[in-house]
Structures are given as C-alpha cells and as structure tokens.
Amino acid sequence: MSKPAATRKFGEKREAIIHAAAVQINEVGVQATTLAEVAKAIGLNATSVTYYFPRKEGLVVAVYEQTLSLMEQMANDALAQPDPSSRLKHFIASHVALRKRIRAGERGLTTALSEIRTLDADVQEPLMAHYLRVVDIVRRFFGAWRDSDERALFSARAHILLEAVMWWPIWSLRYSVLDFKRIESRFFDILANGLPAEKGRFEPQQLIGNWRTHDDADAGQNEAFLRAATVMINKLGYRGASVNRIAESLNVTKGSFYHHHDAKDDLVLACFQKSYDRMSAVQIGGLGIGTDYWTRLSSVLAELVDLQFFDPTPLLRTTALQALDADHKVDVVTRSNRLARRFAGMLIDGIADGSVRPIDPLVAGQVIMSTVNSAYEARHWAERFGEPEVAIRTYLSALSEGMLAPSR
C-alpha cells in the first residue's frame, strides 16, 4: 500500500531540508549553518523549517545520521563480498562512485563528520556509537580475528581505510571524473599491497630535529596558546575549543589571547601553520639521511605517527578545516597538498632507486596524509601496546605491507 500523500510530502520536504543542511555544513561548517540559510536554499522561510526541526541541533543530528547510515550501508554491501580483497575493492569503488554522482549534480548525499565532537554529549554519544558500528563492520572486511593482537591490527586497518575514503572527497577535486576509474584502481592497489618493493620492510632510522614539544617553561605565551589550542581543537572541535576554555587551560585572561590573535580563526590558521611547519621539518629531516628513499620515507612516517600517538602536542587534525571560511580553507588545503606532493616526490625517487614498488605517487601521497592525520584518533588504540615502536609498526603496516597481507 502506498503512503498517504500528506505523509509522503512531509517525508520529501524533510529530506530536502536535510540535504540542504548537508550542503551548508560541508561549505561553511556547523557553527555558520543557520536554519534561515537552509530554508533560503530550498525556497522556504525559517518558520517552515522549524516545523520539521525546531532546533538547529536536531537538524545537524539528522544530517550526520543520514551520512552514517549511508556509510553503514556501503560497508555492509562490501562485507557481503566473498573475501577481503573483494570487500576492499567494493568499498573503495562505492566511495568513488558516490563522488562521481555528487560531481554529476546530486547534492547533500554525504557530510563531513569532522564536527560531531562539537555537539552536546547527549546527541554526540549516539552518533559516535553509530560510527563505531561502521568501524566494526569495516574491521570484519579482513576476516575473523584469532586473538586480541589480530583484532588490534584489523582495527588499525579499518581506521586507516575509513580515514582514506573520508579524505578522498577533498583531493578528488584535483581530478576529472574521467580519471576516477584509474584512481580507483590505484587507490585499491596502494591500500591492498603497500608501498615498498620488499613487502613488509620497515626499518625507520631515528631523525634529529626541533619538532617535539619542549617543557612549558621553555615556551613563550604565543607558543603556549598554539599548543593548548591544538590539543583542545583536536579533542573538542572548533566550536568546543572556545577562547575562554583555551585561556583558562593556561590560567591567563581572554585579553592575553587577543593580544596575540585578532580572532579565533587566526588562531586556528596559526595552529595549522605550526603543524604543517612541524610536518615539513620532519620531511626535510628524513630527506637528509643517507639511505634509500623508502627508508627515508618510513623514517618520516614513524616520526610523524610517534608525534600523533605520544607527543603532548600532536599535529592539528583536519577536523578544524570544516569550520574555516572558504578562503582560509583554500590556503590550508594548498599547504596540505604541498606536503602530499613532497611525499609523492620521495615515492618517485624510491621507485627510481628500486626501494618503492611502481605505484601512483600522487594518490599514495594523499593516502599517506590521511594515514598520518588519522593517527591522532588512534591514541587510545596505541596505548594498548607496551612498546611505542610496536604500536607504530603495527599501525603503519597498512603502508609497509598492505591491508591484505596475512597477519603474523
């Protein structure tokens, strides 16, 4: 029996509002999204929208739930495939196909999940639980784990894979849809089989440089603000990391903050620049050691993941990117692409010296960026390992031997 016309019309209008909100959140972030702007986008007035969603937070939750439900469906469809290789291939293909549909004009299908942490705890917790259900499905792509160590390995693979497909919408803008089929194939190959010519080889060397956090006594006030803001934004998101909270964490006044920064966005940009400066310094440190390029690259990766896992001040997560205005986003993404291209250059040199197998270095550079970026979210996962080196090696095995390598 078909639904009554009134019920169907209600559902269609509600769906249109959710789609419009998804577009707004992707473009300007949760904080800048308003019911009035959402209403304007679909030719309604704000009062009409409040009939469906009395509060903005309810609409934001609906947007996130829709994205998570789509991700869960895509993960389940992939899990239904007969083996790990087929599941990985299907999952990547579905995300590439989704981006192609969006490029063709379908809007509001997915929303970046980066600002879930900015929501109040009572609505944030169910969303995080939903995301963890998606993680559990993806973890099962790799088979039934035999013990806690294998479960931890599959968890790392799931985490890295999800971050890779969620970063894909950002760097996919650099490609024509005519190239998507080729990108899909290269994307799968990199994640399935890893990077080095000798599968599983991972012998990072220690790098020397000034990118680790020093004692607070050695930091000036502006440096202290950057550290505190980076940690707080990573934990609470842009909206949750208020100027008051940042100042209180340092036992200083808001006036001290505004002595160094005109506005909060300026602080976020400064945090990005500081993080990218640190990442660049590690890259340059790795390029300076006298060995083959895979060893240089793996040394850089080990150092960056160590920062994300164990340093008091990790690198700023790209979650903060969503809250910036369009011009600032372009600046941040441009800097990120430069770092990815430097990784690509190391891979090209590694292919030339025989230490890296033939892969697409530009695609691999973006996979590396998402893998390093996502390591912060795996801090709790890393704590289960008695030795930091084992945590780093296990996490980066997705790149050193690929996600389809048998566990030892």
CA distances from 54 to 62, 65, 122 (A): 12, 17, 17
The confidence score (pLDDT) of residue 343 equals 96
Task: Find, among 369, 363, 371, the residue nearest to 182 by Cα.
Answer: 363
| CA 178 – CA 171 distance, rounded (Å) | 15
**Residues 6 or more apart from 108 whose CB is under 8 A from it?**
18, 19, 20, 21, 22, 23
Query: What local confidence, expressed as pLDDT, does residue 395 receive?
Result: 97
Per-residue pLDDT at 325: 67
DSSP lists the bridge partners of residue 356 as 196
Q: Which two tokens stand for residue 170?
A: 């950002």
Backbone dihedral region of 387: left (phi > 0), alpha (psi from -120 to 50 degrees) or beta?
beta
Task: Please tell me the predicted confidence (pLDDT) of residue 223.
Answer: 77
Taking 70 as the pLDDT cut, the residues of the chain under it are 1-6, 107-109, 215-221, 237-241, 250-264, 319-326, 408
> Whole-angstrom Cα distance, residue 403 to residue 397?
8
Q: Which of 240, 92, 106 is nearest to 166 (CA)?
A: 92
Asked whether the beta carbons of 294 and 197 are under 8 A apart, the reply is: yes
Q: What percent of the chain has pLDDT over 70?
A: 88
Q: Give the three-state DSSP class for 315.
A: coil
pTM: 0.88
366: how many CB neighbours lie within 10 A of its CB?
27
Q: Given CA atoms 403, 371, 378, 72 in this order, what sign does their dihedral have?
A: negative
Residue 98, φ and ψ in degrees, nearest 5: -60, -45
* Residue 157: predicted pLDDT: 98
C-alpha 23/C-alpha 40 separation (Å) is: 13
User: What's residue 20's pLDDT?
Assistant: 87
Taking each continuous run of H as one helix and of E as one strand, the counts in the chain are: 17, 0
Which residue has 């259900």 as its token pair?
133
R_g of the chain computed on alpha carbons: 22
Q: Residue 235 is encoded by which pair of tokens?
A: 């934990």
Furthest-apart CA pair in the chain: how many Å? 73
Nearest in space to 268 (alpha carbons), one of 293, 242, 295: 242
